[in-house]
């Protein structure tokens, strides 16, 4: 039982966690790094359950003043064409642009042309939650210790198409498994900063995308580590849970559906020009699953929203991960619900550790005084990996089933298919 906001912390992991070599020549493992990175979780006792924690996010506070420079990228994929934006955390500036979020201004062509570097500073690539962007307070809290007050990291946020006041320039919108823009930025970062260790961080929907990306890349992943926070994992389970309760449907699903509808309204002209979506039908949407029915199924060809949820879920992708991976979830999260967390998958993959707290809500973890707990395990884990661990000594292995079977088989965790190779 949790007393006065003191959350219980637990770790789900493989019986044989990934062995890691420290730079000083000693050995440790992924679980020990995760445990050492995780401080006690003492939250505001007045926000004593996931609903109160989550709803407290509506209380506006300024958050850390992260400044950004934006770059518009042209997608290099022939199918997923169009543009998307990336916001780079930079030193404070006084440039203003009313068309962009606060403290954000565009890079000049000259400045961006010279952005490349041979330095070995760690670099973090971030994905935000549904309909959010680089301006989100939970995100700025998480990256502030890495870039402010002597932090040595370079950080950039990949905005979902149309989010954070970015433009929609094609019929390719974003969805819960839209890994293509993030993949392009990872490849660009590897070419532009060849000596930097690259890491990933995702929140909520962005955590689902990040998990899918890392699982898809497998042993070829260019990231050296990743953290997924508040991942809904199994989207069908999460969405059915939202529809099952009064608060889930009438508060959370309604708010998310309304936010997505506002996003479409913001880009009405582009949506009408580049897509075959029925704008009038979208105006009748109330809940998130209704939005997905009217937008995601039409855009991508899914027969139902549940087919979309099953395809976009990242729970099986956990099995394909071959880099050090930490997931952080609150068991009382009313949006990324307990029943959707793939506990067994984490026990099967030594490259992964799941950190759960009994309290915290959805991307909340509010402490007394308004601070948040989640930046500390995130930054501790990332700093340890970047400064203490010999990243070059990590040798990913190919995928394989841990169980002996009657046939020679192979399970593809990304496509969720079992292939019979022979007898």
Q: Which residues are catalytic?
A: 204, 333, 362
Tally of CB atoms within 10 A around 352: 30
Q: Rounded to whole angstroms, what are the CA distances from 170 to 38, 76, 188, 267?
A: 42, 13, 21, 11
What is d(CA 140, CA 230) in angstroms, rounded to the nearest whole number?
Answer: 16
CA angle 203, 358, 65 (to 5 degrees): 40
Tokens of 381: 């884990």
Q: Is 259 within 8 Å of 266 (Cβ atoms)?
A: no
Q: Is 22 within 8 Å of 29 (Cβ atoms)?
A: no
What is d(CA 46, CA 4) in angstroms, rounded to the nearest whole number?
Answer: 8
């Amino acid at each position: 039982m949790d007393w006065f906001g003191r959350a219980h912390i637990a770790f789900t992991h493989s019986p044989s966690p990934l062995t890691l070599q420290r730079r000083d020549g000693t050995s440790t493992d992924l679980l020990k790094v995760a445990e050492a990175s995780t401080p006690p979780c003492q939250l505001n006792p007045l926000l004593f359950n996931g609903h109160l924690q989550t709803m407290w996010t509506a209380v506006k506070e300024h958050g850390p003043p992260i400044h950004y420079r934006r770059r518009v990228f042209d997608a290099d994929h022939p199918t997923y064409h169009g543009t998307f934006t990336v916001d780079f955390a930079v030193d404070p500036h006084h440039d203003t642009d009313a068309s962009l979020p606060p403290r954000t201004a565009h890079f000049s062509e000259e400045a961006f042309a010279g952005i490349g570097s041979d330095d070995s500073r760690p670099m973090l690539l971030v994905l935000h939650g549904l309909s959010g962007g680089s301006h989100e307070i939970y995100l700025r809290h998480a990256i502030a210790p890495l870039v402010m007050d002597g932090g040595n990291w370079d950080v950039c946020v990949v905005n979902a198409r149309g989010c954070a006041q970015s433009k929609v320039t094609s019929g390719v919108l974003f969805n819960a498994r839209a890994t293509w823009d993030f993949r392009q930025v990872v490849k660009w970062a590897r070419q532009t900063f060849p000596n930097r260790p690259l890491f990933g961080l995702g929140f909520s929907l962005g955590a689902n995308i990040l998990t899918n990306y890392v699982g898809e890349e497998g042993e070829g992943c260019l990231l050296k580590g990743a953290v997924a926070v508040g991942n809904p994992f199994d989207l069908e389970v999460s969405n059915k849970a939202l529809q099952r309760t009064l608060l889930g449907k009438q508060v959370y699903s309604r708010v998310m559906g309304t936010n997505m509808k506002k996003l479409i309204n913001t880009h009405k002209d582009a949506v009408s020009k580049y897509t075959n979506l029925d704008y009038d039908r979208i105006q009748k949407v109330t809940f998130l699953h209704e939005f997905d029915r009217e937008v995601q199924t039409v855009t991508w060809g899914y027969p139902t929203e549940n087919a979309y949820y099953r395809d976009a879920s990242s729970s099986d992708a956990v099995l394909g991960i071959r880099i050090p991976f930490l997931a952080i979830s609150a068991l009382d999260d009313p949006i990324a619900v307990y029943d959707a967390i793939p506990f067994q998958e984490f026990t099967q993959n030594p490259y992964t550790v799941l950190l759960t707290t009994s309290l915290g809500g959805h991307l909340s973890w509010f402490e007394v005084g308004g601070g948040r707990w989640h930046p500390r395990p995130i930054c501790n884990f990332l700093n340890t990996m970047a400064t203490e661990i010999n990243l070059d000594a990590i040798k990913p292995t190919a995928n394989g089933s841990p169980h002996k079977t009657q046939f020679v088989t192979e399970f593809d965790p990304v496509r969720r298919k079992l292939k019979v190779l022979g007898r």
